[in-house]
């Protein structure tokens, strides 16, 4: 698919791209919606097979952020930034990486405050300190730089809240002994493991990084190869790595009772959600379950909430999911469709489809 195909088939507001010969980096900023306020979403950094793939990722993630902000009832729209690197991040010299962040900040400043960024896959609070230092709007700066720090703990807390609510929906009232399969042991996934471990859950985990797997094993988790996790029998499958994990074929065969994770766009399409519903598998839509990070960043840095107020709003993810589950039962629709309808209503466009 070409960049032209991606953009002409997208329902968002704006896509801005830039290629820099000096650094070899390709930049994308996608603004999906500003209906509830300035667009917001993290900066994802990785290598892509093509620039079209980078644009595709940015546009899909921006749309997901619109849903996430609406589902969490936050006063921001949806956007996303992607930086396609010429080499793995670990191979870039510090000055090379800093120049890329400087260029990224330049790009954001041209948008005049219509898009605010933050940390995402491949970026950190320290990176947001640099971006903000160059004059661009950025959430998630370190506390030392006046920000609210990492959103990962709040994201993980929201996923844990969603796991508890989803488990209850399938008749599991106590996570002790509950089999939870976690895919991805980054900052969020590992925190989910820690929280579920305290509940006494039986954890089956995987990651491409053996060091992270060893750390999880030391916590008592059962480690399986990355290509085996989708075949594991579990009560809850928690995808906390990249999106696009569940297509129709996986939805037909996955051996779990509930899908609850932090990965954005975990379904390849709505048909996968329909198949999960047909099989009676509970889905906590990712744009609801992973909303804790956005609640933390916007709550602390825009709305002036205390840490306690943020935690209360993150716990409210359970109420949103319960509403989604009721809508699904009453309407005879999938959990994915029910959550999208709820987000549409909060966007003031009931009957549309984001």
Q: What is the pLDDT of residue 1?
A: 84
- Whole-number Å distance between alpha carbons of 31 and 12: 6
First to last CA, the chain: 21
**Alpha-helical regions (H) of 43-198:** 51-71, 94-109, 125-133, 152-169, 187-198
What DSSP letter does each residue of 89-107 carry, written as one string?
GGGS-HHHHHHHHHHHHHH
- Is 184 assigned to a binding site? yes
Question: What is the CA 125 to chain-centroid distance, rounded?
Answer: 16
DSSP H helices in 199-260? 210-218, 248-253
Q: Catalogue all structural domains in the chain, each as residue range(s) with its CATH number.
A: 3-143 (3.40.50.10860), 152-346 (3.40.50.720)
How distant, in Å, are the alpha carbons of 55, 118, 333 from that of 297? 25, 9, 32
Rounded CA separation 57/6 (Å) = 10
Q: Per residue in 74-94, pLDDT tens?
A: 999 999 999 999 999 999 999
Q: How far apart are CA 100 and CA 22, in angstroms?
A: 9
CA 218 – CA 32 distance, rounded (Å): 42
- pLDDT tens-digit readout, 279-309: 999 999 999 999 999 999 999 999 999 999 9
Which residues in the chain come in under a pLDDT of 70? 349-354
Q: Is 108 annotated as a binding residue?
A: no
**Half-sphere exposure of 336 toward its Cβ, with a 13 Å CA cutoff?**
23
Q: Is 186 annotated as a binding residue?
A: yes
Token pair belonging to 4:
């032209």
Q: Which residues are catalytic?
A: 80
188 is in an annotated binding site: yes
Query: 0.85 exceeded by the pTM?
Result: yes
Give CA angle at 277 (273, 282), nearest 5°: 90
Q: Of the candidates 187, 180, 194, which has an alpha carbon nearest to the alpha carbon of residue 150?
A: 187
Distance, in Å, from the CA atom of 67 to the CA atom of 88, rounded to the nearest integer, reads 31
Question: Of 192, 272, 278, whose CA–CA distance to 230 is shortest?
Answer: 272
CA distances from 314 to 48, 64, 65, 158 (A): 33, 18, 16, 6
Show the CA angle centred on residue 308, arms to residues 306 and 314, nearest 5°: 105
The structure tokens listed for 123 are 């970026």
Query: Do you know the residue count of the chain?
Result: 354
Query: Three-class SS of residue 306?
Result: coil
Backbone angles phi, psi at 203, to 5 degrees: -105, 130
Cβ neighbours, 10 Å, residue 231: 12
Torsion of CA 103, 99, 2, 70, to 10 degrees: -60
Query: Please, are residues 241 and 159 in contact by the beta-carbon 8 Å criterion?
Result: no
Which residue in 108, 151, 96 sits closest to 133, CA to CA? Answer: 108
């Amino acid at each position: 698919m070409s960049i032209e195909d991606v953009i002409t088939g997208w329902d968002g507001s704006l896509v801005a791209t830039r290629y820099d010969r000096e650094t070899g980096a390709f930049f994308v900023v996608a603004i999906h919606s500003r209906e509830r306020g300035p667009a917001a979403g993290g900066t994802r950094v990785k290598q892509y097979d093509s620039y079209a793939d980078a644009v595709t990722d940015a546009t899909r993630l921006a749309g997901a952020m619109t849903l996430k902000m609406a589902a969490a009832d936050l006063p921001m729209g949806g956007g996303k930034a992607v930086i396609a690197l010429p080499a793995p991040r670990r191979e870039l010299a510090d000055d090379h990486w800093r120049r890329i962040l400087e260029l990224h900040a330049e790009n954001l400043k041209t948008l005049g405050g219509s898009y605010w960024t933050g940390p995402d896959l491949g970026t950190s609070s320290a990176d947001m300190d640099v971006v903000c230092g160059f004059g661009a709007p950025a959430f998630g700066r370190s506390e030392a730089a006046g920000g609210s720090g990492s959103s990962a703990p709040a994201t993980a807390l929201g996923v844990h809240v969603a796991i508890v609510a989803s488990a209850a929906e399938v008749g599991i009232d106590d996570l002790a002994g509950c089999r939870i399969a976690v895919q991805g042991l980054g900052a969020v996934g590992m925190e989910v493991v820690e929280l579920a471990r305290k509940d006494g859950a039986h954890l089956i985990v995987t990651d491409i990084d053996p060091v992270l797997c060893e750390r999880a094993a030391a916590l008592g988790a059962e480690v399986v190869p990355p290509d085996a996790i989708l075949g594991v029998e579990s009560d809850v499958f928690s995808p906390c790595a990249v999106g696009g994990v569940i297509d129709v074929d996986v939805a037909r065969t996955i051996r779990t009772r509930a899908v609850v994770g932090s990965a954005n766009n975990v379904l390849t399409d709505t048909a996968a959600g329909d198949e999960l519903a047909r099989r009676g598998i509970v889905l906590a839509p990712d744009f609801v379950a992973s909303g804790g990070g956005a609640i933390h960043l916007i709550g602390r840095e825009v709305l002036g909430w205390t840490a306690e107020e943020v935690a209360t709003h993150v716990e409210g993810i359970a109420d949103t999911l319960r509403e989604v589950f009721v809508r699904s039962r009453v309407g005879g629709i999938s959990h994915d469709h029910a959550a999208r309808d709820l987000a549409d209503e909060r966007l003031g466009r009931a009957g549309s489809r984001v």
